[in-house]
Amino acid sequence: MNNRKKPETEISNPARRKLLAGGLAASGAAAALAIGGRQAAAAAPDPAITKIQDWNRYLGDGVDERPYGFPSEHEKEVVRRSVSWLTADPKSSVNFTPLHELDGIITPNGLCFERHHGGIADIDPAQHRLMINGMVDTPLVFTMEDLKRFPRENRVYFLECAANSGMEWRGAQLNGCQYTHGMVHNVMYTGVPLKHILNEAGIKSGGKWILPEGADASGMTRSIPLEKALDDCLVAFKMNGEALRPEQGYPVRLVVPGWEGNMWVKWLRRIEIGDQPWQMREETSKYTDLMEDGKARRFTWTMDVKSVITNPSPQAPITHGKGQTVVTGVAWSGHGKIKRVDVSIDGGRNWETARLDGPSLSKSLHRFYHDFNWDGSELLLQSRAIDEAGNIQPTKNELRAARGQNSIYHNNGIQTWHVKADGSAENVEVS
Amino acid sequence: MSKFRNLAVVAAVVMSAGIAPALAQDVGAGKKLFKKCVACHAVGPDARNKVGPQLNDLFGRSAGSIEKFKYSKAMKAAAEKGLVWTDDTVAELITKPRKFIKGTKMAFGGLKKEKDRNNIIAYLKTFSTGSETADAAKTKTDDQPEKAATTVTAAPSSRNLPIPQHGVFHLGRKALPEEVNAWDIDIRADGAGLPPGRGTVADGEPLFAENCASCHGDFGEGVDRWPVLAGGHDTLKEDRPVKTIGSYWPYLSTVFDYVRRAMPFGDARSLSDDDVYALTAYLLYVNDIVTDEEFELSRDNFSDIRLPNEANFTADTRKDEPHYAKNSEACMSDCKPGPVKVIMRARVLDVTPEGDDGEGAGPVD
């Protein structure tokens, strides 16, 4: 039924990488020709109109050909991709959301980036349990059926890996917003407010922290302050209306709005309440931010204000030549809603305020557009987000001045794409 | 409906559920016998601690776990070793309390006859909501027992049971101590949660070679992109810091916890606690934090060991950075002195991260 070929999802061979990068620009130019570039007048009738197409004459597939639908075969390049040389093993690795292929604010379930520390746990929901223990009046065990009897909420939140853009601390490295910014996705979750579940067990006075734990082979654990747990965390079992995908924590995951993705424990099986943080591996040896002076910040939970232009970008060159052009991208902040996004076409010297469109929700992706008439000259494209708390997205050099280049995590600096006259784009840094 | 009514059916249920010991149990006889106990122990809706702790929900409960009751040192010690009250342990206790728990405050001589013990246990179980006996008894007391019997096909364990009393929505069920013990294996920085056990550097070395060295190298130096575990001292301010247990990690408890929960990669939870102590000791050794190959790590000396970089972790101070200073306005025009120049280009995807930057999982971890 699904005879789509598995696309190349890994960039591993340096020679191939070069080829691919060159090929992107070339195919962009070819596309521009094929589509016609600037069409002031048609020289000859367009066969796409004058010829009767097969799909117009013959019957298509019936309703049950795709009991669970999948995208058109013409969209087969729209997939998550990984960079094999980043990690030691695909079981503890990451791939990236193809931001440049998406629009609006919702990330389709099959394209949400993946990050696992012990592979994808394959869990029979009938055998899954959620335990609440520690400083509670009554330690409890819930089945999935039990969880679905609590009052539910629907909320749209972005999830960003703390290491998103982490490869760019030392300078421009990866050509494509999928690789530089693709460790983010935005999903509508259906779930139970965590406070309902914790209150069911009864939190003892003195309880100040929770330790969510995953059922996967890494036994993922993170310490989270109780205040956050009782504020807006969800125990979610649906994403964008359907069951969580296995790679996103099926059958149930924690949602920790605005905070780094590692804390959103997938395959959630236990939450312990305690009076101090545990200092687990993922909050000491990892997900701590090493500063230039050799000291390291810990518990850097919130994802700061950030944005990126997704089109044009290195994987999505301008193919139509000069004239009316849509520049678009996404912006988000762990501090709340995005108040404003500015776009610069001259490397941050002058700015214009972009148009936000679509739902504006707290701790969710926002979509912005900058519609302008491209004169065909080279562009140094940047976007700069401002959140409702007044935080302005910093430049990469401002971040480096404050932190050095070894902090790996929380790089929310302004991204620059160099768009050339042929419409191709490259990841650059500017003066 | 009283939750304690219709107790006579319990014996039959216990028999059919196969939980019961060899002899039949008689709740009524147990109730009578319990008069020997009421001077010290209470049961029922208003039960409070007296000379002894109240005995509601006894079965499945950890010994020494009633808050506010002052247990003997002996009982606390037994509790620490994981004593949980079950049919068998209660039977053993009431056979001769001071033999079972030497030093207990329980001044009761004991019940010599097995039948008496079984009857008391049957009676006490009618006050244990977590016990299958009590739940089963309550199911049987349902007003429509036959209907209950015919509708349980989908989820026999959850249908038509009485609604639990905990919480607001009364969802979920009480976790048994054995269940909590099976999952609650986390170790905190102060050593809370460490299991009994011990292991030396010398014990750890062959274990490391067998289970860990294929990825981490014989001495924790790391193979390919796998994490480097040792060395890297004084590199944190360098261009390419090497973040290891010795050079970076703040707490030893993290090593024990992580190895026990997630290592070896692909065969988690396969090491014994002694193995984990030995491997942790070996990792201290390859990081020069202990120097004696005979050094033995155990729960007793674990918290004496501090890792060198502990003091170098600080709070999140991002909001104090100049670019987040309040009241700043975003510049809109002529924000840079002259035309902007490109100063660095992506090296077009052929940047292979250097192999020596410390975190095998590279910058995305």
Given a cut of 60, whether residue B357 has pLDDT beyond it is no
Q: What is the pLDDT of residues B281-327, one digit of tens each?
A: 999 999 999 999 999 999 999 999 999 999 999 999 999 999 998 66
- Please, are residues A346 and B337 in contact by the beta-carbon 8 Å criterion? no
Q: Please tell me which residue, A141 or B354, carries the higher pLDDT value.
A: A141
A375/A395 same-domain check: yes
Is the pLDDT confidence value at B118 over 80? yes
Put simply, whether B183 touches A (Cβ < 8 Å) is: yes
Tell me: pLDDT of B341 over 80. Answer: yes
User: 3-state SS string over A240-297?
Assistant: CCEECCHHHCCCCEEECCCECHHHCCCCEEEEEEECCCCCCHHHCCCCCEECCCCCEE
Report the mean per-residue pLDDT for chain B: 82
Q: Are residues A405 and A288 in the same domain?
A: no
pLDDT attached to residue A418: 97
Residues of B in contact with A20 (CB under 8 A): 349
pLDDT category of residue B27 using cuts at 50, 70 and 90: confident
CB contact under 8 A, A132 and B342: no
Chain B, nearest residue to A278 by Cα: B188
- Measure CB to CB from residue B313 to each of A175, A211, A296 and give the nearest one: A296
Best interface-test mutation with A: which of B348, B352, B354 has the largest number of A CBs within 10 A?
B348
Contact A397, A406 (CB under 8 A): no
Question: Which percentage of chain B shows pLDDT scores above 90?
Answer: 47
| Chain B environment of A131 (Cβ under 8 Å) | 175, 179-180, 183
Range of the domain at A353: 306-428
Residue A350 is nearest to which of B243, B258, B333, comparing CB atoms?
B333
Task: Using alpha carbons, list the distances in angstroms from residue B299 to A56, A76, B266.
Answer: 76, 56, 27
pLDDT digits (tens, 9 = 90+) for B165-186: 899 999 999 999 999 999 999 9
Identify the residue among A280, A299, A352 best suited for mutation to test binding to B, counting B beta carbons within 10 A and taking the highest. Answer: A280
* pLDDT for residue B165: 86
For residues A282 and A314, state if they share a domain: no
Whole-number Cα distances in Å, B37 to A118, A426, B111: 53, 83, 11
Question: Do A284 and A373 have their domain in common?
Answer: no
Q: Give mean pLDDT, residues B328-338.
A: 93
> Is it the case that residue B10 has pLDDT exceeding 80?
no
Q: Please tell me whether residues A277 and A315 are part of one structural domain.
A: no
In the block, tokens 């902040």 appear at A333
Best to test chain B binding among A116, A173, A298, A333 (most B CBs inside 10 Å): A173
Q: How many helices (H) and strands (E) does chain A have?
A: 8, 21
- Choose the final residue of a domain: A237, A262, A297: A297
Query: Which band of pLDDT confidence, cut at 50, 70 and 90, is reported for residue B130?
Result: low
Select from A131, A300, A429 the Cβ nearest to the Cβ of B343.
A429
Among A252, A273, A297, where does a domain finish?
A297
Could you give all domains of chain B from N- to C-terminal order, each with its CATH number? 9-179 (1.10.760.10), 185-322+330-365 (1.10.760.10)
Question: Residues A273, A353: one domain?
Answer: no
Residues A345 and A406 in one domain: yes
Task: State how many domains chain A has.
Answer: 2
**Which tens digit of pLDDT belongs to each residue from B203-236?**
999 999 999 999 999 999 999 899 999 999 999 9
Q: Collect all residues of chain A within an 8 Å Cβ-Cβ radius of residue B237.
A: 292-294
What is the pLDDT, as a whole number, of residue B84?
85
pLDDT at residue B48 in the model:
81
User: In this complex, how many residue pairs, one in chain A and one in chain B, have their CB atoms less than 8 Å apart?
Assistant: 307
For residue B266, pLDDT over 60 is answered with yes
pLDDT of residue B71: 86
Whole-angstrom distance, CA of residue B352 vs CA of residue A84 = 10
Cis peptide before B264 (omega within 30 of 0): yes
| Residue B350 near chain A (CB below 8 Å) | yes
Distance set, CA B333 to CA A350, A370, A431 (Å) = 4, 17, 16
Residues in chain A with pLDDT values less than 50: 1-4, 13-37
pLDDT of residue B18 exceeding 50: no
* B359 lies within 8 A of chain A by CB: yes
Q: What is the mean predicted confidence (pLDDT) over B272-288?
A: 98
List the 92-121 stretch of A: residues with Cβ below 8 A of B: 92-94, 115, 117-118
- The DSSP line for B38-103 is TTT---STT---SSS---TT-TTPBTT-STT----HHHHHHHHTT-B--HHHHHHHHH-HHHHSTT
Residues 189-208 of B with CB under 8 A from A: 189-190
Smallest Cα distance from B230 to chain A, Å: 13
